[in-house]
Structure 1
Amino acid sequence: MNDITLVTQVAVFGNRRAFDSLLRKYQSQVRRFLLSLTLGDGQLADDLAQDTFIKAYTNIGKFRGLSSFSTWIMRIAYNVHYDYLRSHHATEDVDAPSVAARTTESFGTDAALSMDIIKALAILKPEERTCITLQLIDGQPIEKIADITGMPRNTVKSHLFRGKEKLTTYLKQNGYERR
């Protein structure tokens, strides 16, 4: 079944199996996106992903099909993360042991490379990190990034440009040269 059929099954008939199908289809994408936004905090990303799917389930009747379901669910994930940031003003030092421990889980077994990736993402403004994550990790086009974030396309382009410049500078300063 396609996404629209599954959404209809959930919205009209309350079919939980149809929602389970949507959850299985999009959970990896949503978690990966939130994992990048939370700088590798797997537990927080899982909590935010769970909140995302709860909101999607309870509001599925509001889905109008004006965008794809994947854009709609990613927009919810973005908003859930944004709401979390607004309600939790405390920030964590990137060099803190808890971030270092999560890094290997999130980005692989090379701890030095993992820390460099986390630190590189941490230097970006949240909007830049969101746009970079959606484009470079999730492979989303600018139009879809604009739909997910609610930013104008030119703003997305600006965040991508500045974010890529910052990442390039940081990685070059830390011994990563293009070969």
Structure 2
Amino acid sequence: MTAHDDARLIAAARKGDPRAFAALVDAHQQKIRGFMRRFAGHWADADDLAQEAFVTAWRKLDRFEGRSSFASWVCGIGYRIARDARRGHERATQRDYEWLSEQDDGEAGAPVEDQIAIARAMAELPDDQRAAVALCLCEGFSHSEAAAILNQPLGTVKSHVTRGRERLLRMLETQDDW
């Protein structure tokens, strides 16, 4: 797509034509998603960030001044969104670390270092696995109860628990090698 094509579609989108903006997304999404995947590191997160960048671009299209290409502008939006998300994650991790550090080792049952390692490993699990593991292995809910809570089939929850536990063990073994 040429810069002239982009300009024509941007003008139409600014007038409220959602099909014009959809054409811009179709033309540039691979480039934006590729950048976000390389920057964010996790493909699923990157795709969500790219989508959020395009949604933000749609809302702020009137601010696009044309000093750069449309793709560059959307990449900049995506970068700022990803950077802010990463900072938020780092702050949350630091809060968790501080909270766990304040816990009494006798009450918690495991050394603070182990609790922190487990919390970090849990944060790396996909949402569905993390929820199933947290409910079944950490909070003592049965698989059936977790299935009802998560509104998922029982077999799916069992799979999430099994895969999540295996993944946690692999991550924790890797951390022990440091």
TM-score by length of structure 1 reads 0.48
Higher-RCO chain (CA-CA 8 Å, sequence separation at least 6): 1
Task: Considering fraction of residues, name the structure with more helix.
Answer: 2
The structure with the largest alpha-carbon Rg is 2
